[in-house]
Structure 1
Amino acid sequence: MAGLASLVLADARFPGGGHVHSGGLEEAAERGLVTGTASLHAFLRGRLRTAGRVAACAAAAAAHPSGPDRLGALDAALDARTPSLAQREASRAQGRAALRAVRAAWPSPALDALVAVHRRPHHPLLVGVVVGAAGEPPAAAARCVGYLAVSGPASAAVRLLGLDPFAVNAAIVALGDDLDAVTDEAAALAGGDPGDLPAPGAPLLDLMAESHVHHHRERVRLFAS
């Protein structure tokens, strides 16, 4: 059914392993950068406009009809736009975790082609390929991935900081215009050269991702990233 894949993939109940990733929120909370709803909203907005924008544009491009060569170029482009090894590993770990569930629900030659490029596909590319194979437009893939870029960290904030879930959900809703802008841009670029996808920097997110891995080795953290 057209329109269902992107909804299911964005659902927190989907068994894709997203619940073990905080998108940098755990490290931000540990450092006192996120302490309440206002600072959470600022963190989510910054994440959506940087890492979320990169992921959404990659997902939209993967949802566009593609051959193996283009999927390989998209994989390389997303690697290049994710300078932090920890963040690249988190993306591939989540893609690998979701792969079994995705294969069971939406088997397709396009999915096989993506896995042939890398056995641990980047999560945004996996979402994009599935959404496209299910007959949805690139904008649906971008919106799904953009939403996941903020909903995952928001959920982590409730667990880590004990924030009011009603206020946290209101903070997500307040990002509607930002998500629309990211989705529109991603849809406009979906059929273009992977090398032309945007590459906004997020040095603080990169540094916190690397720091989280270091601290995770020293003591157990609630989230893998």
Structure 2
Amino acid sequence: MSRAALLVLADGRFPAGGHAHSGGAEAAVKAGRVTGAESLAAFCRGRLHTAGLVSAALAASAALGADPVALDAAADARTPSPALRTAARRLGRQLTRAARATWPSPELDALARAFPKGAHQPVVLGLTARAAGLGPADAAYCAVYESVSGPATATVRLLSLDPFEATAVLARLAPEMDRVADRAVEAARRAAADGPEALPAASAPLLEIGAEAHAAWPVRLFAS
């Protein structure tokens, strides 16, 4: 198992399209829910324990070898917002392209054929981890880190927040990221026996509502 491969996959410069998405931060900034480092920390914590947990469990399940078609349906069922489903599939399509070029894999090729418009990003992330020789915990860690690093980076641009403050937010959340990743892997192992219905379905209504409002804006800095 290559720790260097994990660094490549988790690197924000990996060309998977995440830089164009704010993870709901743009809508939260406009609504006044994120105004600085303290409120960013609260936003990221909420996202970590809801969308982050769900994404990490899906990614870990895919890394364990669960049926990606069934996992994609499970992801759809856990994403009420059409705007967020669209964003997840766009990110999945871009990640598939980058992953197939970086770690060629028959599983990724089959996923691309099954979902020409893109599978949900966490499902692709888990299969990418398998292709890179990584395990379910690695996939879960990538997912939880993405769930908070995207909003933190976006908030630096949206509010001209000091990058040091944004990075400090992520550093202080590290112990919680560890716990959420562990929960995700445990859930994925249960789902291996009981089916994808056993995966977490933590909800974040404000993220869903904000995503629908954001998608209707005529001008925005981020795609989601």
Q: What's the TM-score once normalised by structure 1's chain length?
A: 0.94
2:111 aligned partner: 114
CA distance in 2, matches of 1:169, 1:75: 32
Kindly report structure 1 stretches of 4+ aligned residues shifted beyond 4 Å. Answer: none
Contact 1:64 1:137 in 2 (8 A): yes
2:23 aligned partner: 23
What per-residue deviation string (whole Å, max 9, x for no partner) do you get for residues 67-89 of structure 1? xxx21110100110111111111
**Percent of matched pairs sharing the same residue:** 54
- The 5-angstrom pairing of residues 199-210 of structure 1 reads 199-210=201-212
- 1:42 matched to 2:42? The reply is yes
- 1:138 matched to 2:140? The reply is no
Of 93, 97, 107, the match for 1:96: 93
How far is the alpha carbon of 1:111 from its aligned partner? 0.9
- 1:155 matched to 2:157? The reply is no
Contact 1:5 1:130 in 2 (8 A): no
CA distance in 1, matches of 2:84, 2:4: 28
CA distance in 2, matches of 1:187, 1:205: 24
Distance 1:86 1:168, change over 3 A: same
How far is the alpha carbon of 1:115 from its aligned partner? 2.2
1:57 aligned partner: 57
Contact 2:137 2:185 in 1 (8 A): yes
Contact 2:96 2:108 in 1 (8 A): no
How far is the alpha carbon of 1:7 from its aligned partner? 1.7
CA distance in 1, matches of 2:51, 2:211: 12
Q: Which amino acid aligns with 1:118?
A: F
**Structure 1 spans left out of the alignment, 5+ residues:** none
Q: What's the TM-score once normalised by structure 2's chain length?
A: 0.94
- 1:80 matched to 2:82? The reply is no
CA distance in 1, matches of 2:65, 2:12: 27
Moved more, 98-107 or 20-29: 98-107
CA distance in 1, matches of 2:139, 2:7: 10
2:33 aligned partner: 33
How far is the alpha carbon of 1:133 from its aligned partner? 2.3
2:4 aligned partner: 4
CA distance in 2, matches of 1:76, 1:65: 15
**Structure 2 spans left out of the alignment, 5+ residues:** none
What per-residue deviation string (whole Å, max 9, x for no partner) do you get for residues 132-191 of structure 1? 222211000000011011001100000000111111101001111211111111111223
How many residue pairs get aligned? The number is: 219
- The 5-angstrom pairing of residues 65-76 of structure 1 reads 65-66=65-66, 70-76=67-73
CA distance in 1, matches of 2:107, 2:6: 16
SS of residue paired to 1:190: helix
2:198 aligned partner: 196
